[in-house]
Amino acid sequence: MSLFTKGKVILVDEIEGVSGMKDRGGLQALAKLIDKTAFPMVLTAQNPFDQKFKALRKKAELVRFEELNYINVYNVLKKICEKEKVKYDDLALKGLARRAGGDLRAAINDLQGLAEESKSLEKENLESLSERNKIESMPSALVKVLKNSDPKIALSAFNNVEEDIDKQFLWIDANLPKEYTKPEDLEKAYNFLSKADVFKGRIRRWQHWRFLVYVNALFTAGIAASKSEKYKSFVQYTQTKRLLKIWASNMKYAKRKAIAAKIAEKTHTSSSRVIKDTLPYLHELFRQNKSEGEELAEFLELDREELDWLRKN
Higher pLDDT, 215 or 6: 215
The CATH code for residues 70-126 is 1.10.8.60
Q: What is the pLDDT of residue 313?
A: 65
Helix 90-99 to helix 70-83 angle, to the nearest 10 degrees? Answer: 130
**Does the pLDDT of residue 245 top 60, yes or no?**
yes
Of the candidate ranges 254-258, 274-278, 309-313, the one whose mean pLDDT is the lowest: 309-313
State the DSSP H helix or E strand holding residue 95, giving kind and residue range, or none if neither.
helix 90-99
**Does the pLDDT of residue 135 top 70, yes or no?**
no
- Alpha helices by DSSP H, listed for 207-269, are 212-217, 223-224, 242-252, 254-267
Q: What is the pLDDT of residue 70?
A: 84
Q: Is 88 helix (H, G, I), strand (E, B) or coil?
A: strand
**How many angstroms separate the CA atoms of 88 and 108, rounded?**
14
**How many angstroms separate the CA atoms of 160 and 141, rounded?**
8
Portion of the chain with pLDDT greater than 90, in percent: 23
Q: Kindly state the DSSP code that residue 269 receives in the 8-state scheme.
A: S
pTM of the model: 0.47
**Does the pLDDT of residue 188 top 90, yes or no?**
yes
Report the range out of 57-71, 114-128, 201-215, 240-254 with the highest average pLDDT: 201-215
Domain ranges of the chain: 10-59, 70-126, 138-244, 253-312
Q: What is the pLDDT of residue 22?
A: 57
